[in-house]
Every structure is written in structure tokens, then in C-alpha cells.
Structure 1
């Protein structure tokens, strides 16, 4: 367990004890790969079990598939400790029987002997300046996406990165400088750079994409004249791609989409005319501006990369989509 994880766990449990009077102690253990693992014992006779504990910095919707998988594999009671757990995520955790405590001491714990629910407590997060780094601005997120999707891109010339992402040369330089400063990129020599901490970078990108870049790309929601049963008849040009539920269905033939997500380089009106789409605020077809240039994705099948499909599936907070995202990452590496 690293120092930051220890601090989060210690502070969250201190706040929990302050609110409930129930003391708790935890100790690091060797656990499941990719997780900061510990066990926790509550000093109260109503807690008869030792809990396995997962500690995270921020808990967001794209973490849910992995958390559900961990819960399913755990033989002992399980509790999630998070510095920040967002409200919609808390709702999902409660509905799916995952116990949690956040840094402010807000908690939801259910056992056969006791039920604890605390909400509304505040904690001042002082760690967000990292997220404001220019590497995770709207421009930076475009660049990071290309670096994650194309293994060779990290060593492309700056001007080529700018061309492929639609960013300025200055924007690319700012992004690379920020990634180097945070340890996500490492210079091996004058001509070779590599990505470090890839899993953390993927996590940061998904969070930033869902919160900052994706809303700015939204072109509108639409309905088809023939209804959703004809969604596969939507015509995509060479620069348009399926994502979210539609892409997952085409990859796995499991989740029949209730909503369709499409990224396009076409003008909105041209795409509407091509497919006879009707604007509607609750339309099942959601159109986004494509935020990359060049053949990123499967041009023959018009499928967006798995990373983007996963980000769009988890962004829905729909249990069907969360389950599908969970299966998707079992079969594909992000």
C-alpha cells in the first residue's frame, strides 16, 4: 500500500469513527492484482466479520465494472474506501450491495447485524490541481487519447500529433510537458519516449473525457422515422463510428442497444439529412463530433476503439451497460 492510499484509508476511518463512535483499524495485505488491498476490523460486537478493503482516490462510474467483479470474487465482506465518491456512484454502490466510506466519513454499510448510512458530510479536496494540469484540458485529452490508442504515437513528431488530434503544436507541447511532469511519459533517450503508469493514465483520461471533453462534442439527440428497431440502417460515412451500446452489440451481439452513440466528422445537418433524423431532446440516437483525424478505429466496421466504447458505456450509469463494460474489458485490453 502506498503512502497516499494509507492516508485516505486512515482519514476516512477517523471521520467514520467521529460520526458513529465505532472505531476501526486496518492493515495492508497482499491482495488482488491492481488494487490497494487491506483488511479492516470494526471495534464493535455487531461487526463479527473481517472486511476486505479497497482504497481508491476518486471513485467514478467507469470504475464500477471492476468493483463489481471484485465483489463477486471476494469470499469475505468487502468495503470500498474512496477519497471522493460521486453521488451517482454512491447510489449505484448501494443498489448493488457494495459497502463504502468516503474521506468525509459518509458511509453505507449493510450486514446481517447492522445497517449504517451517513450522507451530507463535507470534505475539502485539495488534490484536484493535478486534474487541472494542461495534459487533461480539452486539448490535452485529445492528445492523450491518441497516445493511448496508437502505441507508436508517443514517438510521433509534434506536428504529426497536432495534425492527428486537431490540436495546435503548442497544445501538443503543453500536453507532453504535463505528462512528463506527472510521470505518465518517460524519456528513454533523445528519440524514444514511452508511456508509464498506463492504467492510471487510462483512468485519468476516462474521467476527464466524461467530464470535460465529451459534453463539448455533443451535437444533439435524434430519433429515426422508423423507430429504434431500424438503428442499424443508419448510414455512416468513412469518418463516422459507432460507440457505446451500439458498438458493444456489434462486437459481442449481447446487449441490444436502447440508445445509439455515434461519432462523426460530418456536419450535423448533413448527417441528419443523410439519415432523415428528427431532433428530439430525449432521442435515442446521440451524435458527437469526432475528436480525432485519421483512421483511429475499425474503418471497415465503423467501430470506435474499445477505450472510447468503454468510456461511453460506463458514462450511462445503466446497469445493463455497466455489466456489458465489465465483460468488454475481460475480452479486450484498454
Structure 2
């Protein structure tokens, strides 16, 4: 029996079955592999190919992929096994030369005598998170963001948490229970609530934000009359904040923004008119709704919280953005 948790066993079994179905290749052996989650052998027409499997239920596009790629010192190549690999993540894996398989049948493997690249397979209808992970719903992600960015909010009442996270009061209880059951919050019988395993909770939030919450923020796109129009703008006077690449430049001084991201709270008319922004579905300026209620403890003047900047950068496939995300994580999130 493999030395894996039940959930990991299920991910691996489904991914192997899907790989065999979409490629016609067989994975003959799976067994406990020391530092690896499992050892896999793919039987090609000419010879067997061996891998050390790393099974991940949640993928952080920066840390997970880079970490796995850096495991190349092992005796066998590392193979990422996940519930689902999107086209964007598949592209990044290929750029990193990181082999992967998933439950949908998507795969990338490049070794002497074997090349497999399958992308675009539909996400499986049943996911491992659907029945239990209420913290990964739209409302749940807002609540987790509140907990991660306002240190004093965790022990507060449900109503206070709902107000800060801008969610319905009835959303709070199930999400906090879910976080407690999964080891992210202290049990209520141990005194005031506090976050546990903050790093892993951040990773989960960053992985799901661009998929489940960001698309609900009513994004609108614009073009400006002047390329560097944003440099002299006091964005806070519009009750708005810089996100993405502009925020990254302000936090690190390292990135020259190619796209402008703004999170705004109220009517946008003044911001649009005074800065001569023109609606343009292909514009490089994106304005989204700010989804938290007030400034957070981890928020710089005029810039969204570092966790959100980090997530915005990782939602792109731009290598320089990914590099800047590392700087932001090291400077602002490891110390938070």
C-alpha cells in the first residue's frame, strides 16, 4: 500500500487512468518512493521510463511549479500529478520542462524516445474540493482574504467578519467551520480564533483567486491617451488602489508595467473622465471591483495588499511577472 493520504491516492489513481486512456501508454508500477510521493514507470514501445511523482491537490503557479522543478537533483525525473492542469499552467510546465499528468488526461512528458503533450481536456465534473471546501467559493475566498490581511479579524464576531469581507452573514459560519476542520483555524474551544498554517492557506487562496473570485469582479477595460498617465495619479483620491504590475513596481522598483490594474470601490466616472480613459475591450487598463471593505493592515498607501499583488502577477504567464512575484513574496509575505 502506498504511504499516501487517501485524497492523494485518489488523485494519483484517477490521473493514471486518464493518462492511459488518452495516450494508450501504460503505467505499470506504483509504489512508495522514499522522499517522493510514489514511483511511476511508464512503459513505452522501446523501454520503460521512471519518474518520482509529486502529488499536489492545489497548484500555486509560482511556488509549486518552481519547487517541483528544482527537485531535479533526485535520481529520477519528477512528475507532477494534479487534479487538473489548465492550458496556462500546462504552458508554464512545458516552459519549465516539468512533466505532468492530471485526472482529465492532460499530460506533458518529454524524455528520449517519448514525447506526450495533451492539453485542453475538460475539467472533471467531480473535484476533490467540491463537497467540502466551502472556503474556496467566491464568498469563502473573500473571507479568507480578510483573515489573511487583517490580523485582528479572526477572533471577531461573524457579523464583523462579514462586514470586512463584504459577504452575507450566513456565509461566515460554514467557511470558518471548514477552515477549522482542515486545520487552518484553531478550534473554538481553545480560545479566540487564530490562523494556523498561514503559508499553506495563502498558497490555496492564490491558486483559486484567479479562477473563482477575480472573474466575479466585473472587470472593465480601457485605453489611456498617454502611456505613462498613471505615474502622476493619486489613485486614492478616487477611492481606488493599484494592483498587478503597477503595484509591483511601487513595491519593488523592479518591474516596468505593461498592463495597468486598478481595484476601485465606488463610481468610476471621475476616475475615467479626469484621466481621459476610453472604453476598449482590448485595452491595457483593467478596472475591477475592490472586494474588501476597508484598508487592511497589510496594505501600502495606494496599493492593494501584497497578497493580492502576488496573486495578480501569478495569474499571468509573463516570466518577469513571475520573477517579481518571488520578490514580493520574500519581502512582504514571509514577514507578514
1:288 aligns with 2:291: no
- Please give the alpha-carbon distance, in whole angstroms, between the structure 1 residues aligned to 2:219 and 2:20: 47
Q: 1:235 touches 1:274 (CA, 8 Å); kept in 2?
A: no
Structure 2 SS opposite 1:218 = coil
The equivalent of 1:116 in structure 2 is: 116
- Counterpart of 1:256 in structure 2 is 256
In the TM superposition, residue 319 of structure 1 has moved relative to its aligned partner by 3.0
Go from structure 1 to structure 2 and tell me whether the alpha carbon gap of 1:221 and 1:108 turns closer, same or farther (over 3 Å shift): same
Cα deviation digits, residues 8-39 of structure 1 (max 9, x gap): 223323443454343342334454xxxx7434
Give the match's secondary structure for 2:108.
strand
| Greater alpha carbon shift after TM alignment, 200-209 vs 306-315 | 200-209
Measured after TM superposition, the shift of residue 124 of structure 1 is 4.0
Task: Give per-residue Cα distances to partners, 1:50-90, cap 9 Å, x unaligned.
Answer: 4332112254xx42443134314522422211121122322
What's the secondary structure of 1:63's corresponding residue? Answer: coil
Give how far 1:212 is off. Answer: 3.0
Q: C-alpha distance in 2, partners of 1:113/1:10?
A: 25
Mapped to 1, the partners of 2:114 and 2:294 lie a distance apart of: 56
Counterpart Cα distance in 1 of 2:53 and 2:330? 22
Residue in 2 that maps onto 1:232? 231
Q: Does the CA-based 8 Å contact 1:40-1:53 persist in structure 2?
A: yes
Seen in structure 2, the aligned counterparts of structure 1 residues 47 and 153 have a Cα distance that, compared at 3 Å, is farther
Task: Answer yes or no: is 1:5 the counterpart of 2:8.
Answer: yes
| Count of residue correspondences | 327
**Native 8 Å contact 1:224 1:278 kept in 2:** yes
The Cα of 1:160 is off from its aligned counterpart by 2.1
Query: Bigger CA drift: 305-314 or 130-139?
Result: 130-139
C-alpha distance in 2 between matches for 1:129 and 1:170: 20
Alignment correspondent of 1:276: 276
Let me know the Cα RMSD of the aligned residues. 3.0
Paired residue secondary structure (2:84)? strand
> Per the alignment, in what secondary structure is the counterpart of residue 126 of structure 2?
coil
TM, length-normalised to structure 2: 0.83
Q: Matches of 2:141 and 2:241 in 1, distance apart? A: 19
Q: Residue 266 of structure 1 corresponds to which residue in structure 2?
A: 266
- Report the equivalent of 2:30: 26
Report the secondary structure of 1:257's partner residue.
Answer: coil
The aligned residue for residue 216 of structure 2 is 216
For residues 321 and 39 of structure 1, the distance between their equivalents in structure 2, rounded to whole angstroms, comes to 34
SS in 2 for 1:57: coil
**Structure 1 residue ranges without an equivalent (≥5):** none
Per-residue deviation at 1:183?
A: 4.5
21-30 or 251-260, larger mean C-alpha shift:
21-30
Structure 2: gaps (5+ residues): none
Contact between 1:83 and 1:103, CA under 8 Å: does it hold in 2? yes
Residue in 1 aligned with 2:246? Answer: 246
